[in-house]
Structure 1
Amino acid sequence: MGSVVISLDAELGWGFHDLADPPTERVEAGRRGWSVMLELFEEFDIPATWAVVGHLMLDDCDGVHADHPAPDGWFDRERTDWADREELRFGTDLVTDLLKSDTDHEFASHSFSHVLFGRPETDRELAVAELERSREIAGDWDQSIDSFVYPRNDIGHRDVLAAQGITTYRGTSPTRDGVRGLFDSAVRDQSMLVEPAVDEHGLVNVPASMFLFGFEGPARTVAESIWTDPMVKLARRGIDEAARTDGLFHMWLHPNNLTHERDDRRMRAILAHLERRRTATDLTVETMGDVACRVSGPSPVTERATASWS
């Protein structure tokens, strides 16, 4: 029985705050895209793993975070350019919408402040602080964290994830993004299915198959004018392959990728196809946490909770 996973990097401004010249259009699209994706998932009853930056769940802060061991200047934009842009720094309304959704989404972590775990300057102390703060805030919302998505897919400190009770993370995709991935799949007939596996830290690595917004700009416009949206074509191919096999197809995106209505149409077309294939076959839709349970069995925490009710 094949399955499909969709994961989202839910970050608002935190996905760009360390960049010298953040992409304005995407920065401003984060809230819109978040709401659109929630509506589409509810329409098709498709659960997803939402990896949320912990800072979004705060009501307010001083912008200093003096007790956080981040590098000097890490929170500068929060105190300067975005000091009056609370809608980029906080997202309690959006997280509430996510948790209240009728669709059974998985709440996951995207770190506290979008620290890049694979960078040399991110030492163990910082990695621990990012995860501890995320877990603390999640606890304030009566949420636990089992799954983790690395900011910018920059993997590091997996031992810290394990020590903090994380059970699974999104691993690096074995396939290429954009036009190169399209060539590999359509011309070279390369599979986009991935194999989840338990790593040396006891974590379940659920690799990404495909970034849904890897073919953009003028090339996308030309392709759509003479053919079809290449990313829709590629996603359908991956979904169909999963439906034919016992494999896993894992798509991912940021809500801020939905900057225009044509992006909404892309996601609607992909989800509609996924729903059709799920209805017509034994294809299932899973979250990253579902995959981790399937691959390694229930976590000790889950087992204890089950035992306490038996």
Structure 2
Amino acid sequence: MGSVVCSLDAELGWGFHDLADPPAERVESGRRGWNVMLELLDEFDVPATWAVVGHLMLDSCDGTHADHPAPEGWFEREREEWADREDLRFGRELVEGILEADADHEFASHSFSHVLFGDAETDHELATAELERSTEIAADWGQRIDSFVYPRNDVGHRDVLAEYDVSAYRGQSPTRDGVRGVFDSTIRDRSMVVEPTVDEYGLVNVPASMFLFGFEGPARTVAESIWTDPMLELARRGIDQAARSDGVFHMWLHPNNLTSERDDRRMRAILSYLERRRSETDLTVETMADVAQRVRRSRGVDGASNSADTQAKATWN
């Protein structure tokens, strides 16, 4: 029996604050896409793993973060250019939407301030500070962190995740994005189903299968004019492959990828297809925490998380 996992990197402005020239359209689409995805996931009853940047859950801050061992200038955009853009820095009502949703979403972490864990400048102290602050904020909301999604999929400091009792992380995809990914899947018939594994720290690596917005711009427009939406076609293939196997098809996106109604239609079509295949087969939908719990139990790993059964969605206040 295969399964499908959907994870979202929920970050608003924090996904771009360190970039010299952030993509304006995506920066401004974070809230829109977040609400659209909540509505669609509820409509099709798809529980997802929402990996939230912890800073979004704060009431306010002055942007100094004096006790945080971040590199010099890390919070500069928050203090200066975005000082009056609370809509990019905070998102309490959006996180409340996750916890109050009809779909049984998993609350997960995307770090505190979108630090790149695999970067050479990110030392153990900084990684620890990011996990510690995220864990503290989650606890204030009555939540715990069982799954972690690395900012920009830059995997590193897995030992720190283990120290903070994280059970799972989204590992790097064995497949390629964009045109190369379409070629591998459709021409080479390469499977997009992944096999979760337990690493040396006892963490369950739930690798990504497919970034749902890895084929954009003019190439997408041309492909849609002569064929179909390539990402929709690949998502259908991945869902079908999971339905025929015991593996996992793990699709992921950022809410800010939904910049227009065309992007909304892509996600509606994917989730509609998933709903149909789930009704026709034994295919299930899991969160990353569900996968970690199942894998660790099946392999007799101690300390299997039970948060998928006990996470209290209504105790965040």
TM-score (ref. length: structure 1): 0.97
Q: Which residue of 2 aligns with 1:181?
A: 181
Where 1:207 maps in the other structure, the secondary structure is: coil
Aligned equivalents of 2:247, 2:90: Cα separation in 1 = 37
Q: 1:299 Cα deviation (Å)?
A: 3.4
Q: Secondary structure at the match of 2:66?
A: coil
Q: What SS does the aligned partner of 1:179 have?
A: helix
**How far apart are 1:237 and its partner, in Å?**
0.3
- 1:225 maps to which residue? 225
- Counterpart CA distance in 2 for 1:227 and 1:300 is 45
Contact kept in structure 2, 1:146 and 1:289, CA below 8 Å: yes
Report if aligned partners of 2:34, 2:256 keep a CA contact under 8 Å in 1. Answer: yes
Report the CA distance between 1:195 and its aligned residue.
0.5
| Amino acid in structure 2 at the alignment position of 1:5 | V
Residue in structure 2 matching 1:299, options 288, 297, 303: 303
Residue 150 (structure 2) pairs with residue 163 (structure 1):
no
Secondary structure class of the residue paired with 2:206: strand
CA contact (8 A) 2:296 2:304 kept: no
1:101-141 Cα offsets, whole Å, 9 max, x none, are: 01100000000000000011100000000000000000010
- Which letter maps to 1:63? G
1:80-106 CA distances to partner (integer Å, 9 max, x unpaired)? 110000000000010011110011000
Cα distance in 1 for partners of 2:121, 2:306 equals 35
1:26–1:259 CA contact under 8 A, matched in 2: yes
Question: What is the CA distance between 1:68 and its match in structure 2?
Answer: 0.4
- How big is the alpha-carbon RMSD for the aligned residues of Structure 1 and Structure 2? 1.2
Map of 1:25 onto structure 2: 25
Do structure 1's residue 92 and structure 2's residue 92 form an aligned pair? yes
Instruction: Note the alpha carbon deviations across 1:231-289, whole angstroms, 9 max, x for none.
Output: 00000000001111111100000000000100000000000000000000000000000
Cα deviations by residue, 1:49-88 (Å, 9 ceiling, x for unpaired): 0000000000100100000000000000000110000000
Q: Distance in 1 between matches of 2:205 and 2:304?
A: 18
Q: Deviations over 1:207-248 (max 9, x none)?
A: 000000000000101111111100000000000011111111
Q: For residue 82 of structure 2, what is the aligned residue in structure 1?
A: 82
1:59 match? 59
Relative to structure 2, which stretch is displaced further, 291-300 or 274-283? 291-300
SS at match of 2:118: coil
Pairwise CA distance, 1:301: 6.1
**Contact in 1 for aligned 2:54/2:109 (Cα 8 Å):** yes
Partner of 1:38: 38
Stretches of structure 1 that go unaligned for 5 or more consecutive residues are none
Tell me, yes or no, if the aligned pair for 1:5 and 1:249 is still in contact at 8 Å: yes
Superposed displacement of residue 302, structure 1: 3.5
Task: State the SS of the aligned residue for 1:165.
Answer: coil
Counterpart amino acid of residue 231 in structure 1: M
Gaps of 5+ in 2: 311-317
2:140 aligns with: 140
1:277 equivalent in structure 2:
277
Counterpart position of 1:190: 190
Give the letter for the 2:248 counterpart: L
How far apart, in 2, do the equivalents of 1:176 and 1:76 lie? 34
CA–CA distance in 2 between the matches of 1:139 and 1:2? 33
Q: Which residue of 2 aligns with 1:237?
A: 237
Q: Secondary structure at 2:170's aligned position in 1? A: strand
Aligned to 1:200: 200
CA–CA distance in structure 2, aligned partners of residues 102 and 78 of structure 1 = 33
Secondary structure of the 1:250 match is: strand
- In 1, Cα distance between the equivalents of 2:80 and 2:218? 34
**One-letter code aligned to 1:260:** S
Alpha carbons 2:59, 2:90 under 8 Å: kept: yes
CA offsets, 1:182-201, max 9 Å, x none? 00010001111101000011
How far apart are the structure 2 equivalents of 1:28 and 1:56? 15
Q: 2: distance between equivalents of 1:16 and 1:39?
A: 25
Identity of aligned residues (%): 78
The verdict on how the C-alpha distance between 1:278 and 1:301 changes in structure 2, with shifts beyond 3 A counting, is closer
Distance 2:195 2:240 in 1: 16
In structure 2, the residue corresponding to 1:70 is in which secondary structure?
Answer: coil
Amino acid at match of 1:299: G
Give how far 1:29 is off. 0.2
**Partner amino acid, structure 2, of 1:181:** G
- Aligned equivalent of 1:287: 287
Partner amino acid for 2:271?
L
| TM-fit CA distance, 1:300 | 5.5
SS in 1 for 2:142: coil
* 2:19 is the alignment partner of 1:15: no
What is the alpha-carbon distance in structure 2 between the residues aligned to residue 219 and residue 300 of structure 1? Answer: 44
CA contact (8 A) 1:293 1:299 kept: no
